[in-house]
């Protein structure tokens, strides 16, 4: 019926007034239900029609007289001709009355009027404003809801066939993915339906007991998942289905027919959708038609739209027009808070599913083992919900600012089994957060131990020179961080000497996973006696806590069924050794949503941890009474299998810790900044950055870069490769990257960690893919003494400030230490603007190879910087390198120089020379940008600040690039030369 | 009570140096704690025995604990009751028997003190201590009596735990209270009631492989319903004595 209405609308638009009127009446029968939903209706119409037509035969037999007429028209509708529809409508009109008692009829009509205005604003204006719509609608509109609901209920109760029908229509509608829900509709019908559902549930359970819903489980778990029927907030899809099923059960004894119907319907869906789309577009066009004269209806129309908005479908568009537009090409900006404290922004198509966004984020994070993660968003009440990847994002969020956080959703029981260190690193970040926020309680000793691993992972080996004072204070390590704890953590930190960051992470996880609350997702609830308890969902099952004490536990294998109804959550327990009867245990949750949330989490955890593969979404509605919600991701078993196949060089882990790095010891002094990156990486980063590009417009500055980028040899991601690509890129361009992550304590990294094979072979560069690792060697090279961090653009002011501080501090230490060794000619050169190949050693060659001499200090720019930028480039590492002269010598052999550009710019106190070279080595192209910044000033302090600024600028200018080293050369005056 | 206390000390001092259990060993490293204190790791929770008469004992034991350089946590809550005899530490988690001498609040404080571990409550059996019919006979080995309430408690514990424990059922509840030690850090030794006391149960213990059984006669203590573990507080701590 709803569908008909829509059709009518169209018709009306076409211009048949009289018919339009008629239509209204016809609508009455059904339309009331969905006043607000015009658009939807329109779309769904097609669907309904088709579905119905096929179904007709069966329906007709079963249905009562009343239904017949309707059916017929519907069939006609299918053809799609507007005229037909109109006729049908007429027919309906006539027939309808017969069935219904006079009183009902009257009521219906009333409703119809009311609805019409809201429903089909356009037509009403044009055609029969005065007649029905005008009067009735305006007056009634106020009462619309009441009336509508009333009428609908009556109907439902009185005519079984109608009810069915209607539901059918609605279902389809919803299926069609129409965004607009009718709140009213839902609310109206619920009462009646729910009542029935109760009765039906009994029946359902019996069926289940019979084994209708068997699933494959790893063990012998059999869990039935039953959704609550009354889910007001949920997308109708789920609820309605439930309701439908229930009703059908009652109404139609012949299940078979229905089943077949379902099948048909399902098959038809795609087509339906298309139709729906068309309808929509058609409506969109209509929407523009409204003329000023229509005012009254226009208002109503708006009202209806408003309602729709409320319902959460299309919040943003005020009018229909807007809506239509939005449907087509609307992108919504999403912001995702990542685990390392940075955030990722992107534009997401408005209709995109959760999966699309999730994939984007994973790409950005460069994680392959993504099944353990998920996106959380907060609802209005501040409750966090997991974004369902299978559903459209917009259906799951209300307010347009789409904010998410990227979090661990399933805590692996044994993190050691994760394939990649990157995954473990992210898990660590999550756990650190859990610990500091108190979600993962642990004792003092454990806190200190975990903290010490954090220090080790972020700072590297403890050494008396580097770590002075309370360096642990810079880290957030515990919920209530005390000095005592920091002391203890630092004490333990010393004992971890020699552990690579990845190893430290590993140990961190080994300790964290033993904690009793590891991976337990807690939900407030009350037990049957009203006592406050907490329900904890974890990999093994459901835990019941009272205060901190565990008072019960239901392992997944013991649970037969989980369900929720309203705000109650139920589990049915498998009879055990000693009990012989299945028992159902109910818990009261604070709200319906909470119950649903808990239920979903349970379904997901059970599926992920206990099943071999996700359960298929139940297709036949008849057989599965529950929600259609199922966990759609991979199960742990699957994800393990998949990750076993991961074949990429270990991705770079960009650590995002605040580092406090004190001093540097350097001898020689040369100043230059080299930024290098592969073209590939750059591109990649760019791609990533697109979204954030806004923030980092810097790209332009590096004019030369663009060219460079175009040429990038490296294929960007593909399949497994993407991760690789990145990592590969990184290595080349920036040797130091890698180092950042894994071996911060660059000094001696034997490349055990991921990037393992690091020997300081420049040769590495030649071979792209594998090379990466070698490049990493570069890491070794640097000594991260002091780290200067340049921040990614994203960084917050604080960060920036902090870095600057550390930077200047560094500088200071530099100057003091450094100066003596050799002042250089940096000024000279720089000012000159070293052309094609500037003094070679310094810049390119030297850096990678020279490892011995240089101290590079790479800051893993604290996650912020890194994560902020694209993947590869993300991190802007500032390497402060003191090069010994010798280093340069190594590099003797240059790469093939493909292009070189030199750009010089001057400002008051500084001269910047940018030298961009593109070289090809071993089939690998590499772009390096060297910046020489000559700062002239009188006092040291000036220099420091200037340097800081210069570095910052450089970073900003080349967002895609990483700073591999910074060499500070201070000269009083005199030129030196290399 | 003085007797008992003295006994505890004798256990503590010699036993400690013999038990340098590696930190990452997940076996019941620290703990058997009797009524006055619960020790786990380097932390000791000084309990609040329900009987006022016993609270004095607590102050008597404090100096010893201090000497062990444990982090001492005292129960301040007036409503809390906890006795070590109701606390079973398995090496992975705690079970607290709720009894006349231990209440929910006491268990909560225990949970707050040892946050790393799950603390599960086992509904009580009146005046009996949880450990009067069970104890840990080794890593992941639960020794349990065969009485009805013991078996009931066992089921509860099985229900509540995430881990799997082997169980050794012995005919006599009292014999189920034994003391597991690792002299020198290796091998398994079990201090248990002598054959004179419980001839049947000792047979059950003899099924354990690779265990050194150390039968101990407790006939004197038995008169006052004393148990083996009651006499000791196990501490995993190297003493710098």
Q: How many helices (H) and strands (E) does chain A have?
A: 33, 20
CB-CB neighbors (< 8 A) of B117 in chain A:
516
Interface test mutation site (partner A, options B97, B118, B148, max chain A beta carbons within 10 A): B118
CB-nearest partner of B112 from A514, A546, A548: A548
Quick: pLDDT tens for A120-136: 333 333 333 333 433 43
Interface test mutation site (partner A, options B24, B97, B115, B119, max chain A beta carbons within 10 A): B115
The more confidently predicted of residues A262 and B34 is B34
Number of cross-chain residue pairs from A and B with Cβ atoms under 8 Å apart: 61
ipTM > 0.90, yes or no: no
What is the DSSP annotation of A505-572? HHHHHHHHTTSTTTT-EEEEEE-TT--EEEEEE-SSEEEEEETTEEEEEEEGGGEEEEEEETTEEEEE
The model's confidence at residue A318, banded by pLDDT at 50, 70 and 90, is: very low
Task: Give the pTM.
Answer: 0.51
Q: How many CA atoms lie within 13 A of A650 on its CB side?
A: 28
CB-CB neighbors (< 8 A) of A552 in chain B:
159-160
Nearest CA in chain A to B123: A551
| Burial status of residue A195 (CB atoms within 10 A of its CB: 0-12, 13-18, 19 or more) | exposed
Q: What b/e sequence results for A2-32 when a residue is b if at least 16 CB atoms lie within 10 Å of its CB, and e otherwise? A: bbbbbbbbbbbbeebeebbbbbbbbbbbbbb
Find residue B72's DSSP bridge partners.
Answer: B44
Nearest CA in chain A to B119: A549
Quick: pLDDT tens for A156-184: 333 333 322 222 333 333 333 333 433 33
A443, B111: Cβ pair inside 8 Å?
Answer: no
A553, B162: Cβ pair inside 8 Å?
Answer: yes
The pLDDT, as a whole number, for residue B95 is: 93
CB-nearest partner of B119 from A443, A444, A550: A550
| Burial status of residue A581 (CB atoms within 10 A of its CB: 0-12, 13-18, 19 or more) | exposed
Q: How many CA atoms lie within 13 A of A709 on its CB side?
A: 19
Where are the alpha helices (H) located in A337-467, listed in sequence order? 354-365, 393-396, 421-436, 444-459
User: d(Cα A458, Cα A452) in Å, to the nearest integer?
Assistant: 10
- Tally Cβ neighbours within 10 Å of residue A496: 19
Distance from CA of A545 to the nearest CA of B (A): 9
Helix axes A255-288, A236-251, angle to 10 degrees: 140
| Burial status of residue A398 (CB atoms within 10 A of its CB: 0-12, 13-18, 19 or more) | middle
The model's confidence at residue A943, banded by pLDDT at 50, 70 and 90, is: low
From the CA atom positions of chain B, what is the Rg in Å?
Answer: 16
pLDDT exceeds cutoff 60 at A541: yes
Q: Are A371 and A607 in contact (CB under 8 A)?
A: no
Residues, chain B: 241
Under DSSP, is residue A21 helix (H, G, I), strand (E, B) or coil?
Answer: helix
pLDDT exceeds cutoff 70 at A377: yes
Q: How many CA atoms lie within 13 A of A465 on its CB side?
A: 7
Distances (CA, A) of A617 to A356, A632, A784, B111: 20, 9, 53, 41
Quick: pLDDT tens for A442-493: 888 899 999 999 999 888 888 888 777 888 888 888 888 889 899 989 989 9
Annotated catalytic sites of B, by residue?
A: 129, 230
Where are the alpha helices (H) located in A311-443, listed in sequence order? 320-328, 354-365, 393-396, 421-436
Distance from CA of B104 to the nearest CA of A (A): 8
CB-nearest partner of B115 from A442, A547, A549: A442
| Closest-CA residue to A620 (of A228, A273, A260, A203) | A260
The more confidently predicted of residues A806 and A947 is A947
CB-nearest partner of A442 from B96, B116, B120: B116
CB-CB neighbors (< 8 A) of B93 in chain A:
516
User: d(Cα A75, Cα A54) in Å, to the nearest integer?
Assistant: 8
Distance from CA of A951 to the nearest CA of B (A): 45
pLDDT exceeds cutoff 50 at A196: no
Distance from CA of A550 to the nearest CA of B (A): 4
pLDDT exceeds cutoff 50 at A643: yes
Where are the alpha helices (H) located in A367-415, listed in sequence order? 393-396
Quick: pLDDT tens for A516-535: 999 999 999 998 888 899 99
A600-608 mean pLDDT: 90
The pLDDT, as a whole number, for residue A43 is: 38
Question: Phi then psi for B93, rounded to 5 degrees?
Answer: -165, 170
B43, A553: Cβ pair inside 8 Å?
Answer: no
B119, A515: Cβ pair inside 8 Å?
Answer: no
User: d(Cα A899, Cα A926) in Å, to the nearest integer?
Assistant: 10
- Tally Cβ neighbours within 10 Å of residue A969: 27
Q: Are A455 and A486 in contact (CB under 8 A)?
A: no
Quick: pLDDT tens for A831-860: 333 333 333 333 333 333 333 333 333 333
Residues of A with CB under 8 A from a CB of B: 441-446, 514-516, 540, 546-553, 578
User: d(Cα B233, Cα B9) in Å, to the nearest integer?
Assistant: 8
Q: Are A932 and A913 in contact (CB under 8 A)?
A: yes
CB-CB neighbors (< 8 A) of B164 in chain A:
none
The pLDDT, as a whole number, for residue A581 is: 79
CA A389 to chain centre: 8
The more confidently predicted of residues A445 and A962 is A445
Nearest CA in chain B to A443: B115
Residues 6+ positions from A782 with CB-CB distance below 8 Å? A736, A739, A746, A851, A854, A855, A856, A857, A858, A879, A881, A965
Give the sheet arrangement for strand B141-145, strand by strand: B134-138, B141-145, B166-170
CB-nearest partner of B116 from A515, A549, A551: A515
Q: Are A3 and A77 in contact (CB under 8 A)?
A: yes
User: d(Cα A155, Cα A150) in Å, to the nearest integer?
Assistant: 9
Q: Are A344 and A336 in contact (CB under 8 A)?
A: yes
Distance from CA of B19 to the nearest CA of A (A): 20
The pLDDT, as a whole number, for residue A697 is: 32
Q: Are A500 and A743 in contact (CB under 8 A)?
A: yes
Q: Are A608 and A410 in contact (CB under 8 A)?
A: yes
Tens digit of each residue's pLDDT, chain B (241 residues): 232 322 333 333 333 333 333 333 333 333 334 777 888 888 888 888 777 667 777 777 777 778 778 888 888 888 888 888 888 998 889 999 988 888 889 999 999 899 889 999 998 766 678 888 888 888 888 999 888 888 888 988 988 888 889 989 988 888 888 888 777 667 788 888 887 778 888 888 888 888 888 887 766 655 555 667 666 676 665 544 3
| Closest-CA residue to B227 (of B91, B132, B99, B143) | B132
Measure CA of the first residue to CA of the last residue in chain A; give whole Å. Answer: 86
User: d(Cα A663, Cα B146) in Å, to the nearest integer?
Assistant: 67
Residues 6+ positions from B74 with CB-CB distance below 8 Å? B45, B46
Quick: pLDDT tens for A670-709: 222 233 333 333 333 333 333 333 333 333 333 333 222 2
Find residue A571's DSSP bridge partners.
Answer: A562, A585
């Amino acid at each position: 019926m709803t569908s008909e209405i829509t059709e009518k609308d169209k018709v009306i638009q076409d211009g048949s007034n009289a018919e339009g009127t008629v239509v209204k009446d016809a609508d009455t029968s059904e339309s009331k239900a969905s006043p607000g939903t015009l658009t939807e209706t329109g779309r769904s119409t097609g669907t309904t029609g088709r579905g119905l037509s096929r179904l007709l035969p069966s329906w007709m037999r079963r249905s009562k007289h009343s239904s017949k007429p309707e059916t017929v028209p519907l069939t006609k509708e299918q053809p799609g001709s507007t005229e037909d529809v109109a006729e049908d409508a007429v027919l309906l009109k006539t027939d309808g009355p017969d069935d219904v008692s006079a009183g009902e009829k009257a009521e219906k009509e009333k409703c119809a009027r009311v609805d019409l205005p809201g429903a089909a604003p356009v037509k009403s204006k044009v055609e029969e404003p005065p007649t029905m719509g005008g009067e009735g609608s305006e007056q009634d509109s106020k009462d619309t809801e009441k009336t509508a609901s009333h009428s609908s209920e009556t109907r439902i109760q009185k005519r079984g066939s109608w009810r069915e029908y209607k539901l059918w229509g609605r279902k389809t509608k919803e299926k069609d993915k129409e965004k607009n829900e009718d709140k009213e509709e839902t609310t109206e019908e619920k009462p009646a339906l729910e009542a029935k559902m109760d009765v039906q549930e009994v029946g359902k359970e019996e069926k289940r007991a019979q084994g209708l819903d068997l699933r494959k489980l790893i063990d012998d778990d059999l869990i039935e998942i039953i959704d609550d029927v009354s889910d007001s907030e949920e997308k109708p899809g789920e609820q309605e289905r439930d309701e439908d099923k229930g009703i059908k059960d009652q109404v139609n004894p012949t299940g078979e027919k229905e089943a077949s119907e379902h099948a048909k319907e399902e098959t038809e869906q795609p087509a339906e959708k298309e139709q729906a789309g068309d309808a929509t577009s058609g409506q969109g066009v209509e929407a523009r038609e409204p003329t000023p004269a229509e005012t009254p209806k226009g208002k109503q129309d708006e009202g209806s739209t408003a309602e729709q908005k409320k319902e959460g479908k299309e919040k943003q568009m005020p009018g229909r027009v807007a809506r239509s537009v939005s449907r087509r090409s609307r992108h919504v900006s999403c912001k995702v808070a990542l685990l390392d404290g940075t955030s990722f922004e992107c534009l997401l198509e408005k209709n995109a599913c959760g999966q699309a966004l999730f994939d984007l984020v994973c790409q950005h994070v460069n994680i392959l083992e993504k099944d353990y993660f998920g996106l959380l968003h907060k609802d209005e009440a501040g409750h966090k919900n997991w974004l369902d990847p299978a559903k459209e994002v917009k259906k799951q969020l209300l307010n347009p600012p789409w904010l998410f956080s990227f979090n661990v959703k399933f805590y692996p029981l044994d993190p050691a089994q994760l394939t990649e260190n990157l995954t473990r690193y992210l898990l660590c970040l999550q756990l650190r957060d859990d610990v500091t926020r108190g979600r993962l309680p642990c004792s003092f000793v454990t806190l200190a131990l975990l903290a010490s691993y954090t220090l080790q992972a972020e700072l590297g080996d403890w050494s008396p020179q580097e770590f002075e004072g309370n360096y642990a204070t810079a880290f957030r390590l515990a919920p209530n961080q005390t000095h005592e704890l920091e002391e203890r953590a630092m004490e333990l930190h010393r004992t971890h000497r020699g552990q690579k960051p990845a190893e430290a992470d590993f140990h961190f996880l080994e300790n964290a996973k033993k904690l009793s609350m590891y991976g337990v997702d807690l939900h407030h609830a009350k037990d049957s006696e009203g006592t406050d308890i907490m329900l904890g969902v974890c990999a093994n099952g459901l835990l019941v806590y009272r205060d901190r004490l565990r008072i019960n536990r239901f392992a997944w294998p013991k649970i037969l069924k989980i369900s929720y109804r309203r705000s109650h959550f139920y589990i049915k327990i498998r009879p055990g050794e000693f009990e012989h009867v299945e028992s159902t245990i109910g818990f009261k949750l604070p709200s319906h949503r909470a119950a649903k949330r808990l239920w979903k989490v349970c379904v997901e955890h059970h599926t992920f941890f206990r099943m071999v593969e996700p359960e298929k979404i139940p297709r036949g509605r008849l057989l599965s009474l529950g929600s259609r919600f199922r966990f759609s991701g991979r199960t742990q078993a699957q994800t393990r299998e998949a990750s076993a196949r991961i074949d990429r060089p270990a991705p770079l882990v960009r650590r995002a810790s605040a580092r406090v790095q004190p001093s540097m010891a350097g001898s020689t002094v040369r100043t230059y900044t080299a930024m290098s990156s592969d073209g590939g990486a750059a591109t990649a980063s760019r791609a990533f950055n697109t979204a954030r590009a806004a923030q980092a417009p810097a790209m332009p500055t590096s004019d030369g870069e663009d060219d460079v980028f175009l040429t990038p040899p490296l294929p960007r991601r593909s399949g497994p490769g993407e991760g690789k690509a990145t990592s590969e890129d990184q290595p080349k361009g920036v040797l130091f990257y890698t180092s950042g992550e894994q071996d911060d304590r660059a000094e001696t990294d034997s490349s055990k960690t991921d990037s393992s094979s690091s020997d300081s072979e420049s040769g590495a560069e030649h071979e792209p893919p594998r090379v990466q690792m070698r490049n990493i060697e570069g890491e070794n090279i640097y000594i991260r003494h002091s780290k200067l961090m340049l921040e990614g653009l994203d960084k917050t002011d604080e960060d920036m400030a902090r870095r600057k501080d550390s930077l200047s501090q560094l500088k200071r230490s530099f100057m003091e230490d450094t100066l003596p060794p050799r002042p250089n000619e940096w000024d000279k050169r720089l000012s000159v603007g070293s052309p094609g190949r500037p003094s070679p050693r310094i810049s390119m060659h030297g850096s990678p190879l020279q490892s011995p001499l240089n101290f590079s200090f790479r800051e893993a720019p604290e996650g912020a910087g890194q994560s902020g930028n694209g993947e590869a480039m993300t991190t802007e590492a500032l390497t402060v390198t003191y090069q010994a002269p010798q280093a340069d010598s190594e590099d003797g052999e240059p790469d093939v120089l493909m292009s070189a550009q030199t750009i010089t710019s001057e400002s008051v106190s500084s001269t910047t020379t940018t030298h961009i070279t593109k070289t090809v080595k071993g089939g690998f192209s590499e772009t390096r940008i060297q910046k020489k910044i000559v700062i002239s000033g009188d006092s040291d302090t000036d220099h420091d600040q200037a340097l800081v600024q210069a570095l910052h600028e450089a970073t900003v200018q080349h967002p895609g690039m990483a700073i591999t080293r910074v060499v500070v050369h201070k000269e009083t005056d005199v030129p030196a030369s290399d | 009570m003085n007797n008992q206390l003295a006994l505890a000390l004798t256990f503590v001092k010699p036993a400690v140096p013999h038990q340098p259990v590696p930190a990452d060993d997940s076996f019941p490293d620290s703990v058997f704690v009797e009524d006055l204190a619960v020790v786990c790791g380097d932390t000791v929770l000084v309990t609040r025995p329900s009987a006022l008469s016993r609270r004095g004992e607590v102050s008597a034991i404090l100096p010893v604990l201090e000497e062990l350089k444990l982090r001492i946590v005292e129960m301040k809550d007036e409503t809390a009751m906890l006795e070590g005899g109701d606390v079973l530490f398995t090496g992975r988690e705690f079970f607290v028997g709720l009894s006349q001498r231990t209440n929910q609040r006491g268990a909560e404080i225990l949970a707050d003190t040892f946050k790393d571990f799950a603390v599960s409550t086992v509904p009580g059996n009146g005046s009996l201590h949880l450990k009067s019919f069970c104890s840990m006979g080794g890593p992941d080995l639960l020794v349990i009596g065969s009485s009805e309430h013991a078996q009931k408690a066992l089921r509860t514990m099985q229900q509540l735990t995430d881990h799997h424990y082997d169980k050794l059922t012995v005919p006599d509840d009292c014999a189920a209270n034994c003391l597991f030690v690792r002299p020198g850090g290796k091998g398994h030794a079990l201090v248990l009631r002598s054959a004179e006391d419980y001839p049947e149960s000792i047979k059950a213990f003899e099924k354990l492989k690779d265990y050194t059984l150390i039968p101990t006669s407790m006939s004197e203590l038995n008169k006052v319903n004393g148990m083996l573990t009651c006499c000791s507080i196990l501490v995993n701590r190297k003493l710098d004595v």
